[in-house]
A and B are shown apart, each in its own frame.
Chain A
Amino acid sequence: MTTEPRLLAVRKNVLKQNDVLARALRDRFRAQGTSVISLVSSPGTGKTALLERTLTLLKENYRVAALVGDLATENDALRLARSGVPVKQITTGTICHLEAAMVERALEEWSIGPLDLLFIENVGNLVCPASYDLGEDLRLVLLSVTEGEDKPLKYPTIFNSADAAVITKCDLAVAVDFDEVTALANIQAVRPGMPAFLVSSKTGQGLSNYLQFLTATLHAKLHVPADEASSHAEIHSGTSR
């Protein structure tokens, strides 16, 4: 005779610890009036090049800084430091993504004054970063024209978790027969309504629209009541509600 299995109901979100920390970070950033923007992409898409350009252009009018995650080396931090803004490297060792705890620890060790915009460059990876909320207001997913138009279809989870897409290396679009219409359609297929920007960090093409979008996020945050801001923030926190 078989007996029914005895089930003890529990409901525990496995990533709860990260989500709780991320929420605390988000509250802290809101209180400080800092907008946080993270960048995710596969390795070699041009996150660092775009960020270097972004920091250089924004520092004239805004207090900006960047946290940059990598498995090893401080190369990216050194590159970004050329922009003249405060930059801190998070070396993850063998971990293929950033977590909220790493961001928190980096901030603790880092004595910088108040910021308008904090950028977080994630480890180059289109898989694991999707699951970890970092307390950001805006998650940018980058794809370069050399990677192929179907990247969004191959990695729908990360594209779906993002708030805006940036197509980089547009100066190479003709050379690699990049099909812009298909790429934009694929982005819309996995994340309907997501804004997308076509840029070249090398030539500066498309950067003004992209920068306007970033600073609009900051201004929206500063003027939106906290309870409305938190409903937007919940987008990244998945099932933890």
Chain B
Amino acid sequence: MAQEEAERRKVQVDAVHLDLGALSGVVKEALLFSYGVACDGTLLEGSRLVVTDVPIEVFCSVCKVPRTLKSMQWFCCPECGAATSEILHGKELVITALELKQ
């Protein structure tokens, strides 16, 4: 996907930036490991993958504000303790930017 984007925009890419949510179901290490292999022989060969971890953010219906969870084993507001299932962030698996060669 990043490669298509690089081709379309005719740019040389130094790094691909990616947001990775804690609830995405994807393991960062596995992603980094496979990135190099996947890029071999493509426009992205030699580029880096820069992963930004996105913590789980829920909406607390009691406090009426977004809260960041401390643990993915405990879906409760860290301030008031109310249980919540309304997830605002944390499922991301999104390419956010291409870092271009200077």
Interface residues of A (CB under 8 A from B): 3, 5-15, 127-128, 130-131, 153, 156-158, 160-161, 188-194, 238-239
Interface residues of B (CB under 8 A from A): 1-2, 5, 9, 11, 14-15, 17-18, 21, 23-26, 72-76, 83-85, 87, 91-100, 102
Cross-interface CB contact of A190 among B75, B97, B100, cutoff 8 Å: B75
On whether A7 and B99 interact (CB within 8 A), knowing A189-B73, A192-B76, A193-B83, the answer reads yes
Contact B2 A12 (CB under 8 A): yes
On whether A3 and B102 interact (CB within 8 A), knowing A131-B25, A156-B72, the answer reads yes
A176 to B9, CA, bound (A): 60
Contact A157 B94 (CB under 8 A): no
Contact B5 A10 (CB under 8 A): yes
Contact B25 A127 (CB under 8 A): yes
In the assembled complex, the CB of A184 is this many whole angstroms from the nearest CB of chain B, namely 13
What number of A-B contacts does a CB cutoff of 8 Å give? 95
Contact A8 B100 (CB under 8 A): yes
Cross-interface CB contact of B99 among A6, A12, A128, A190, cutoff 8 Å: A6
Chain A residues with CB below 8 A from B23, complex form = 156-157, 160-161
A193 to B17, CA, bound (A): 35
Contact B102 A6 (CB under 8 A): yes
Contact B98 A7 (CB under 8 A): yes
Contact B95 A188 (CB under 8 A): no
Contact A10 B97 (CB under 8 A): yes
Chain A residues with CB below 8 A from B73, complex form = 153, 156, 189-190
